[in-house]
Amino acid sequence: MHMMVAAPEQWVKPMAVAGANQYTFHLEATDNPGALIKDIRENGMKVGLAIKPGTTVEHLAPWANQIDMALVMTVEPGFGGQKFMEDMMPKVNHWLRTQFPSLDIEVDGGVGPDTIHKCAEVRGCSRAALSVTVLRDLSTPRK
């Protein structure tokens, strides 16, 4: 589950009870990432940590050895259909991939037929795959 929410602490237990096996929260949404990571683990879920485009990857680094997945936002959180921010890719291949080669990395936002190759190209030489999430609001018809 990618929880793009304020106060992510309050949804850990409900998501675990609902059957989620991974809980991804936004670094910017909590004052205590360490406590939240611990709580997610204690509730039996893997941990994903997301950062917004304006958040440098150095802010994520202190937590990288405690999480299962890093999610680099390639649009501003808020709505679908935004332009893929290619300038976020160095966070993936020049930084996270080299510093934490076994970390699962996802990107979110603006990924589609015209941009997915840009994600694939930054796989680098590590043993971990770059995961690409293409999230769609199914209630909103798209052209």
Ligand X SMILES: O=C(CO)[C@@H](O)[C@H](O)COP(=O)(O)O
Assigned token pair, 84: 């893929």
CB 81, min distance to ligand X, A? 5
Between 127 and 136, name the residue whose CB sits nearer to ligand X. Answer: 136
- CA-to-CA distance for 57 and 13, rounded, in angstroms? 28
- CA-to-CA distance for 90 and 114, rounded, in angstroms? 19
Positions touching ligand X (CB under 6 A) are 4, 75, 77-82, 108-111, 134-135
- CA-to-CA distance for 120 and 44, rounded, in angstroms? 31
CB 52, min distance to ligand X, A? 10
Cα–Cα nearest to 29, from 65, 73, 90, 94: 73
Residue with tokens 């997945």: 69
CB 79, min distance to ligand X, A? 5
CB 86, min distance to ligand X, A? 13
Between 35 and 135, name the residue whose CB sits nearer to ligand X. Answer: 135
Between 64 and 116, name the residue whose CB sits nearer to ligand X. Answer: 116
Q: Which helix (H) or strand (E) holds 95?
A: none
Between 78 and 113, name the residue whose CB sits nearer to ligand X. Answer: 78
Q: Contact 30/50 with Cβ under 8 angstroms?
A: no
Residue sitting closest to ligand X (CB): 80
CB 42, min distance to ligand X, A? 27
Strand partners, 107: 72, 132
Between 39 and 108, name the residue whose CB sits nearer to ligand X. Answer: 108
